[in-house]
Structure 1
Amino acid sequence: MLRVGPAGYPPGSKGAVQAVERVKALGLNALEVQFGRGVNLNEERSRELGARARELDIALSAHAPYYINFNSTPEKVVKSHDWLMRALRSTDTMGGRIVVVHAASYMGRTSEQTTRKVIEALKQVRRQMEEEGLRPLIGLEAMGKISAWGTLREIAEVMDEVDGVEPVPDFGHIHARGQGCLKTKEDFQEALDGYLQLHPGRLHCHFSCIEYTDKGEKRHLLLETEEPDFALFAECVRDSGREFTIISETPAPSEDAARMRAMLA
């Protein structure tokens, strides 16, 4: 089954419950709750959100705080662990399937050194999740800045050693990091195949058009800019026969999610 929805509540939503109702009204069936600046849903509101989402068949996910960095000082790593755990607890309460995380920046270390730090940190997170009985998956996002950890190879290395982790390809980020590499359907297919081979189940994806520099991602752009062209990605998705959740991360995520849904029909 194909699921499409926005990153964050649709405009004008007065709270989480109304947000999923608006998502449904737009003809969409997924919502990624944004905890980028902190987990701001208490347990009661998380339960209410989850109950209404189940009634409306809206698949929930969440994005962990942006300031997580498992390749930082010991103090920051401890805080990052706590921030991710808070997001996982709230997502578990609402019945969300996956929490997406920006895991690290290189901070002058090599890819191998940074990957090892991420592995060590996520093993600790997974141990605590098991102790608390938390069910969400950890989604490692493909990152768009050259300075950010999160290539396909790096994510695969973590998945080899840590259970309960999935890749989250962000095709705007892949395009930016690759300096405009997604120009044709074949380009998209090659990028997508790497993630489909890595993960055989439902693939949770992000998509936005994007402006980039030689340092990678600069800012997200509307779908109409076609940089890269979502229509080419949509062809690959339709041809794959696989299950996808596609989250719109453009500056108008709800409106563009509805456009994506129409293009995928």
Structure 2
Amino acid sequence: MIRFGPAGIPLSCKGRTLIDGIEDVHSLGLTAIELQLVRMNIIDRYAMEDEVGLTPRDITTDLIVQIIRGEEDPLIITDLSETIQDGDLLVTLISGIAPNWADVNFARDLAKKLDITLSLHSPYYMDLTQSSDVALPSVEILRWGGLIASEMGASPLVIHLGLYEGRDEEDAINNIVSNLASIIDWYEENNVNVVLGLETSGRQEVFGSVDEIIRICDEVEGVIPIINVPHIHSRENGSLMTKEDFEDLFAKLDNFTKSVFYVHFSGVEHEDGNEIRYTPIKKGDLRFEPMAEAMIEHLYEMTIISGSPLLEHDAMYMRVIFERNYTRQVQKLKRMAEKEEETRIEEERLAKEEEGATKDTKSAPKKKSGAKVVTKKPTGKKTPPKPAQAKKASAKKKSASKKIPEKKEPVEEKTAPKKAPAKKKSASKKIPEKKEPVKTAVKKAPAKSPAKKGPTKAKPSPAKTPSKKKPSKKKK
């Protein structure tokens, strides 16, 4: 699940109490808030007469975090259900979180009802890089901060680790490991259920690079890294620019968070590896879109706290960007799924067709192995053609017979030798057509017709008929 919220009570909230802040966050559509325990004052006072017999939870005027009983060998009591006795020294905590334990418990129940995740940020002036004696005030503040967080149901308790102050990295790491171990032991002894979150720093002189935080998390059990994106971006000279940059960062810290990340985000101005100030997200070179893409692709579970000067406005802005990118990604995946479904259906159809074709070939009749194959010997008789073939043959014959008389043109020289006899017949038939009628005269003999040249034979001249002599007059 992805949650967005401000670092502190929203600027738009009319009331400035813890209860007002939780209700306003819910009305804005946000689902997380990081409460700021940045100012903390400790006051020791003796119990009043009307407080004797009550418990720290019953006191409505102060937030009592500890009871000190006795003077020579004092007994320190952190059980909030312990009855206050006469002469007890009460350690009260003055902060902007809540005036008493009743408000703390009410805030816990209200946040649970509205589905708001609570977390707590300790004061910024922690100094755990020092030895145990010097770091004792910081250790006590973290004890009491853990007590408040546990009663409120807030987690994690976000802490800074301190300055180097001339110490080398190894000395600082050893002191931090020792102080954190004592705090966690105290939590276990007093049934304080909270996780310590180690925040990355944004300046070179402050302990808390990504690699240093990883080393502390590796050596101390029960702590997690807090990813302050503008701090890392500043300390590494603008290293978080692309989706791949964020993926590498989350992969580095995944072993300690189990894909459940707590992140601070805002715009930032930086120079020479140091953060100058927070800015609204729209300013500067650090953009939220690449981180949103990495979140969507890897489905991280994440709580994102806006540390921007605009607080809840930029928290809502990040939520809008995330939802927009998430919708685009869902639509893209939907289109890809539809294409895959279409290809799957097409492949199934082709497979069914192939399966049907193989079934058809298998169902065709096969020759039995034991049966004898009878083959007919070819005979001299021609088998009668089938009706269709007979029709085709007759049609071919008719077409051939029709085409013969149409060719009346004289044959070319190439085909002349083959059709020589036909030429003679045609010539002999054409001679009488050209023959002129023979005129017979009684008195004169017919003139001899000149012989025609050519391959045709000369016409036989008509036989002379013997003319009958007229009887002469003398004989009469």
Q: Report the TM range for the smaller structure's normalisation.
A: over 0.9
- For the Cα contact (< 8 Å) 2:132–2:175, is it kept in 1? no
Q: Matched residue pairs, number? A: 265
Q: Which one-letter code corresponds to 2:38 in the other structure?
A: G
1:32 offset after TM fit, Å?
Answer: 0.3
Give me the whole-angstrom Cα distance separating, in 1, the residues matched to 2:217 and 2:320: 33
1:125 offset after TM fit, Å?
Answer: 0.1
Q: Which residue of 2 aligns with 1:249?
A: 307
Q: Once superposed, which parts of structure 1, at least 4 consecutive aligned residues long, lie more than 6 Å away?
A: none
Please say if 1:26 is aligned against 2:3. Answer: no
Which has the bigger relative contact order, CA under 8 A and spacing at least 6? 1
Q: Which residue of 2 aligns with 1:7?
A: 7
Give me the whole-angstrom Cα distance separating, in 1, the residues matched to 2:33 and 2:134: 29
- For the Cα contact (< 8 Å) 2:6–2:305, is it kept in 1? yes
Deviation per CA, 1:108-140, whole angstroms, max 9, x where unpaired? 112221111110000000010011101110000
Give me the whole-angstrom Cα distance separating, in 1, the residues matched to 2:203 and 2:220: 24
Give me the whole-angstrom Cα distance separating, in 1, the residues matched to 2:299 and 2:28: 24
Q: Which runs of 5+ in 2 are unaligned?
A: 41-94, 324-476
Q: Which has the higher helix share?
A: 1
Query: With structure 2 as the length reference, what TM-score do the two structures score?
Result: 0.54
Deviation per CA, 1:205-240, whole angstroms, max 9, x where unpaired? 111111112251111000111531011111111111
- For the Cα contact (< 8 Å) 1:104–1:114, is it kept in 2? no
Give me the whole-angstrom Cα distance separating, in 2, the residues matched to 1:142 and 1:14: 29
Q: Which residue of 2 aligns with 1:53?
A: 111
Q: Which one-letter code corresponds to 1:223 in the other structure?
A: I
1:76 offset after TM fit, Å?
Answer: 4.0
Give me the whole-angstrom Cα distance separating, in 2, the residues matched to 1:126 and 1:73: 17
Q: Which one-letter code corresponds to 1:149 in the other structure?
A: F
Query: With structure 1 as the length reference, what TM-score do the two structures score?
Result: 0.95
Point out the more displaced range, 117-126 or 213-222. Answer: 213-222
**RMSD between aligned residues:** 1.5
Please say if 1:173 is aligned against 2:231. Answer: yes
Q: Which residue of 2 aligns with 1:182?
A: 240
Q: Which one-letter code corresponds to 1:10 in the other structure?
A: P
Give me the whole-angstrom Cα distance separating, in 2, the residues matched to 1:54 and 1:64: 22
Q: Which one-letter code corresponds to 1:5 in the other structure?
A: G
Deviation per CA, 1:77-131, whole angstroms, max 9, x where unpaired? 0000011112111111110121000112111112221111110000000010011
1:14 offset after TM fit, Å?
Answer: 3.0
Change (3 A) 1:254 1:86: same
1:201 offset after TM fit, Å?
Answer: 4.3
Give me the whole-angstrom Cα distance separating, in 2, the residues matched to 1:10 and 1:44: 22
- For the Cα contact (< 8 Å) 1:104–1:118, is it kept in 2? no
* Percent of aligned pairs with the same amino acid: 32
2:175 equivalent among 90, 94, 117: 117
Give me the whole-angstrom Cα distance separating, in 2, the residues matched to 1:133 and 1:243: 27
Q: Which residue of 2 aligns with 1:216?
A: 274
Give me the whole-angstrom Cα distance separating, in 2, the residues matched to 1:182 and 1:153: 16
